[in-house]
Structure 1
Amino acid sequence: MCGIAGELRFDGAPIPEARVIAMRDHLVHRGPDSTGTYLARGDRMGLGFRRLRIIDLTPNAGQPMTNEDGSVQLVFNGEIYNFLDLRKGLIARGHRFRSRSDTETIVHLYEEKGADCIADLDGMFAIAIWDERSRRLLLARDRAGKKPLFYCRSDRFLAFASEIKSFFALRDMVMEPDPESVPYYFIHGYVPGPATFYKHVRQLEPGTLTIVDADGRMATRRYWQIEFPRAADVKPIPAHEAAAGVRERMARAVERRLISDVPLGAFLSGGIDSTIVVGLMSRVMAAPVKTFSIGFEGDPAYDETAYARLAAERFKTEHTEFRVLPASGDLIDTLIWHHDGPFGDSSAVPTYLVSKLARAHVTVVLTGDGGDELFAGYRRFWAAVQAERVPRIAARAGEALLSRLAARRHERHWLTDAQRFLRAARATFEERMTLLNALFFEDMRDLLRPEFAATLGPIDRL
């Protein structure tokens, strides 16, 4: 994980290097190993970078990264999984490399293809490229949006950064909360992009690139859009062939993520997703996989260390188990600072703790995150389909009956699940999917003071 930041002035005013450094150093936690800055001719464009060294630990791989004549300057957070294949082709076409990094591959690919090079990248990334010849800034974000990239603009400048907190270094930028974001936070647990908690700050959306001219003109386009085929166009295949196809793709994806010049490990909960990742890692790594899990004393509903232990024994990993007291209230301020605002997913607490503890052993970890979303692993996906079979009148009767039972103990209690399922069975499919994923839905407006709610525009709960 690295941190990038920068600014492009439209008003002709020079950018003090101290201003770029201030934005950059709000991201010190993202890149503790080294720093870099770049100011373009005339000081109208500035780039800042904080590095966490992973591939090619030498200064040659530092950023901002430039091409041979200095006309292309790049800062980049992430990892390009197909960079070795791309590099071979670039060398064959005459490009010269001074590092082994994936970063330099992007620079030379941009020389050949301009903004169209982004579509050739397989990876997770947030990229900023300053083209001195055309006097243009390119911003790009990976297809799934794994790496964050925010920007704010006024009539005088545009600034961008890996995290919103960098913009607080800009004294002439008013960081004003956006009241319209509040209902969406209560529904989703976060503010869906491109909006943020701040009026003048936006996220660059996943699969999108933006080109900003020196005079402030912006052009944004999607370089990738997920497309699902029609069911009628999908050729049926036997289950064993489908399973083999998933297995082959998973193995290839895991192997491509193991390129690292620093210690690497995995978070292991003992669930299906992280166990599959660890199992595949153990097949291709020469040394035992370093695995990490965390458990909370006194609350077995949130303790999965026993399952993690079983998986660690099965794959003969070098396993480290952390046990902590569930005093998550102590972390609220820290987590809000890291997330640049409230974040409604309680998994942020164990993720932060296990990340902090694992950092003493490894620099990079693989996880099973995203598996439940891709393969419909959450029970709510199953519930959304099953609820179609429940008559509305039966759902109303069941909900009324359950409301008379004792109060729930916690969100994983069976009573909580049953009540939410029956509420969802009364909704349309689209409403049901949102309700089952939402923190608040029908009761969301009860959280808002009437005078505050009156100032808001229409709320799209879907």
Structure 2
Amino acid sequence: MATSHGRWLVPGVSMCGINGIFAYHYAANPIDREELARSRDDMASRGPDGKGQWTSDDERVGFGHRRLSIIDLSEAASQPMISSDGKLVVTFNGEIYNYRELRKELEAKGRTFQSNSDTEILLYLYAEKGDAMVHDLRGMFAFAIWDAEKRKVFLARDPYGIKPLYYADDGWTFRFASQVKSLLAGGKVSRDPEPAGQVGFYLWGSVPEPFTSYRAIRAVPAGSTVVVDRIGAHEPKRYHSIAAAYREAEDQNSRAPRSIDGQAQIREALLDSVKHHLVADVPVGAFLSAGIDSGALVGLMRDAGQSDIQTVTLSFEEFKGRAEDEALLAAVVARTYGTRHTTRVVTEREFQADLPDILEAMDQPSIDGINTWFVSKAAKELGLKVAVSGLGGDELFGGYPSFREIPVWAARMAMPSRIPFLGRAIRKALFASGLDRRFNSPKAAGFVEYAGTYSGAYLLRRGLFMPWELEEVLDPETVHSGLRRLKPLMMVETELTPRPKSSFAKVAALEASLYMRNQLLRDTDWASMAHGLEVRVPLVDAVLLRSTASQRMSDPERGSKMSLALAPRTPLPETITKRSKTGFTTPIGDWLKRGGGEIKYRSVSSLSDTGCHWSRRWAYGVASAPVAHA
């Protein structure tokens, strides 16, 4: 089955696992084909439909690929893919939703295509535009291109960071993969722990980019590119910023006249995104809850012309007949839009049986992801390869309490927080005396010190443990080194550059760039790909962001969750829109308690709890691994 250049031919293309090795230093050993294969095959669940491998004639560079067939199921779409002139090679994970438009443009310039895949677009777009190609792409993607003429590897990751991409550079050889553990599986990357990753997990419930659990491994930042040439990996170069999108919308709207029918424009932008996210050569289903986000997307899928929609909802035995059970209201939405609907019941026995596989699939420590695991499992049982999720709606339309609370905190505490040493003195006194516990939250001790800025207020709102608590759960050396390397407040502040003017835009940029990126998107990726399922998120789209930001900045009343609920031609019923926001609750925390709460995660020993409404204090002594809701 091997062909020239060591390439393997397999059917299908797109959503996958990718990896590669580049021995860039002149004195480095040639790449190890077995290492390349080990790293690739550790991602078998990401690409159960086949595998591919390519190595250069001089054995200085090699790419690997695991396949989940979504677009162009023919052999012509095999990966790694080589350009017709042999000068470029690509390995690609993701979907380019505007690939048909890009293909027309490239064909008009004389490019000839051998497949109908979105992968081939990347080769010839790079040939035309080089590194600047990323500005033309709409989709979720992580890819690497080998440029034989320039002797360089070019890596890119999508604007929001929907698809993961990690790398390690030891000064001689550069390695990359879709998963942290797959880099380790190759056997030649150091396992020394990263203190910033450990501290970051305890602060946020996930390991914040660009750090991972290991010193030697870094994430390619979302919306960034990395070039690797003869001197090694250059610093990542950012080409997209969520904060910049809001700031540009603010600047434009200060000069532009106010539009008349903002709701119609929001509907048009949402429908456009949904249409693009339905591009596939296999059926596209949908996750359906009792919330506005997923329900509105199902209605828009119907408006976009999909007549047969398979939807799936999770339910739990413990919640039957209770307010926490979303199954009844999800069924109302399913009837409203005429879907083929399935309610999948998850039991405690199934959870306990799946837990070892969940922890094995979890690429980095997380307190999230369990419900995505089970709903993805249910979708796979129904025969789906692709499902749409409502993830991103709260970040885009201001659905979290943080949109109300953080601006109020920052305004009220701005002056007290500027008084030298006041906040720190209050925090130390309260924490040392234990009086902070009387407020039912250890965060209260740091309120004066932190709440007067958006970065500090965000840490208070989203933080699990506060920096001054970390020595209760980690050794002091790890805490000091981790905080020094992580610089949590500076990390938060970076995501507000360039700084938006409005309070909504500031919080939206933080929620999308931190909580959604490091937690929700990452957990959705590992939990769904473990079942060979591609999850698409139409509300996490750079083009949609620009459209909705423009509307929101021109009129604060626009771009609310009701704008989303009213977007389908048949709006969501009032039973959904008037329902209080509760989040997705699971009984998994209780299940863990009954099971002893002692779990082991192979990457980092961590303390956490599970479930949506979990007790933070219970996390101090019960679990030793991260799991929770999605």
Give TM class, smaller chain: 0.7 to 0.9
**1:305–1:401: structure 2 CA closer, same or farther, 3 Å change rule?**
farther
Q: CA deviation at 1:283?
A: 1.5
The 2-side partners of 1:329 and 1:239 are apart by 54
Counting matched residue pairs gives 443
Offset at 1:139? 0.6
Contact 1:40 1:132 in 2 (8 A): no
1:384–1:433 Cα contact (<8 Å) kept: yes
Q: Equivalent residue for 2:395? A: 373
Cα shift at 1:124: 0.8
| In structure 2, C-alpha distance between the alignment counterparts of 1:144 and 1:339, rounded to whole Å | 20
Give the Cα–Cα distance (whole angstroms) in 2 for the partners of residues 329 and 301 of structure 1.
Answer: 24
Residue 316 of structure 1 aligns with an amino acid whose one-letter code is G
Q: Mapping of 1:110-149 within 5 angstroms?
A: 110-149=126-165
- Please give the residue correspondences for 1:152-167 in structure 2 after superposition, counting only pairs within 5 Å: 152-167=168-183
Work out whether 1:189 is the aligned partner of 2:205: yes
SS of the equivalent of 1:285 reads coil
Residue in structure 2 matching 1:170, options 172, 175, 186 = 186
Q: What is the alpha-carbon distance in structure 2 between the residues aligned to residue 333 and residue 351 of structure 1?
A: 16
Aligned partner of 2:472 in structure 1 is: 446
SS for the counterpart of 1:378 is: coil
Q: CA deviation at 1:218?
A: 2.8
SS of match in other structure, 1:384? helix
Deviation at 1:238, TM superposition (A): 6.4
Q: Does 1:309 align with 2:309?
A: no
Q: Deviations over 1:361-394 (max 9, x none)?
A: 210011100111122211232232455687999x
Partner of 1:350: 371
Task: Find 2:108's aligned residue among 92, 98, 103.
Answer: 92
On the 8 A contact 1:126/1:141 being kept in 2, the answer is yes
- The residue type equivalent to 1:224 in the other structure is H
2:274 to 230, 254, 261: 254
Q: 1:176 to 1:402 in 2, by over 3 A?
A: closer
> Within the alignment, does 1:6 sit opposite 2:20 as a pair?
yes
- Structure 2 alignment gaps of length 5 or more: 1-14, 417-425, 427-433, 490-630
> Is contact 1:263–1:363 with CA below 8 Å preserved after alignment?
yes
Deviation at 1:17, TM superposition (A): 2.4
Q: Secondary structure at the match of 2:144?
A: strand
Q: Which amino acid aligns with 1:156?
A: W
**Cα displacement (A) at 1:101:** 0.6
The higher relative CO (CA closer than 8 Å, separation ≥ 6) is in 2
Deviation of the 1:173 alpha carbon: 2.3
Q: 2:289 aligns with which of 269, 284, 287?
A: 269
CA distance in 1, matches of 2:299, 2:336: 9
1:408 maps to none
Counterpart residue number, 1:241? 261
What does residue 410 of structure 1 align with? none
1:195 Cα deviation from its structure 2 partner: 0.9
Q: Which residue of 2 aligns with 1:409?
A: none
Give the structure with the higher percent helix: 2
Hey, what's the Cα distance between the residues in 2 that align with 1:343 and 1:330? 19
Question: Do the aligned partners of 2:19 and 2:64 also contact (CA within 8 Å) in 1?
Answer: yes
What SS does the corresponding residue of 2:70 show, helix, strand or coil? Answer: coil
Matched, 1:20 2:36: yes
Per the alignment, in what secondary structure is the counterpart of residue 237 of structure 2?
A: strand
Query: In the superposition, relative to structure 1, how do residues 172 and 387 fare at CA in structure 2: closer, same or farther (>3 Å)?
Result: closer
Paired residues of 1:126 and 1:140 also in contact (CA < 8 A): yes
Give the Cα separation in 1 of the matches to 2:263 and 2:214: 44
1:40-439 correspondence runs (5 A) = 40-216=56-232, 218=234, 220-226=236-242, 227=244, 228-229=247-248, 231=250, 234-235=253-254, 241-299=261-319, 300=322, 302-326=324-348, 328=351, 330-345=353-368, 348-361=369-382, 362-387=384-409, 426=448, 427-430=451-454, 431-439=456-464
CA distance in 1, matches of 2:295, 2:318: 25
AA of the residue aligned to 1:5: N
Give the C-alpha shift of residue 286 in structure 1.
Answer: 4.0
Q: Is the aligned partner of 1:39 residue 2:55?
A: yes
Q: Secondary structure at the match of 2:45?
A: coil
The answer to whether the 8 Å contact 1:3/1:51 transfers is: yes
Q: In 2, distance between residues paired with 1:225 and 1:195?
A: 19
Q: Identity over the aligned pairs, expressed in percent?
A: 36
Aligned-residue offset at 1:460: 3.3
Unaligned runs of 5+ in 1: 406-415
Structure 2 residue 45 is the aligned partner of structure 1 residue 29: yes
Root-mean-square deviation (CA, aligned residues, Å) is 2.8
Greater strand proportion: 1
Deviation readout 1:318-366 (Å, 9 max, x if unpaired):
1111011246455444333323231022xx1111011011112210011
Distance 1:237 1:325, change over 3 A: farther
Aligned AA (1:52): L
Looking at structure 2, the residues matched to 457 and 424 of structure 1 have their Cα atoms a distance apart, in angstroms, of 16
Aligned to 1:412: none
* SS at 1:171 equivalent: coil
Give me the whole-angstrom Cα distance separating, in 2, the residues matched to 1:37 and 1:85.
29
Q: Distance in 1 between matches of 2:232 and 2:435?
A: 60
The alpha carbon displacement at 1:432 in A equals 2.0
CA–CA separation in structure 2 for the residues paired with 1:240 and 1:333: 55
Q: Distance in 2 between matches of 1:177 and 1:139?
A: 25
The amino acid across from 1:428 in the alignment is: G
Amino acid of the structure 2 residue aligned with 1:146: I
- What SS is found at the alignment partner of 1:159? strand
- Listed one character per residue, the Cα deviations across residues 43-93 of structure 1 (whole Å, up to 9, x for unaligned) are 110000011000110111110111112111001000111111110111111
Q: Distance in 1 between the 2:251 and 2:141 partners?
A: 35
The CA deviation at 1:449 is: 3.6
Relative distance call for 1:231 and 1:99 in structure 2 (3 A) is closer
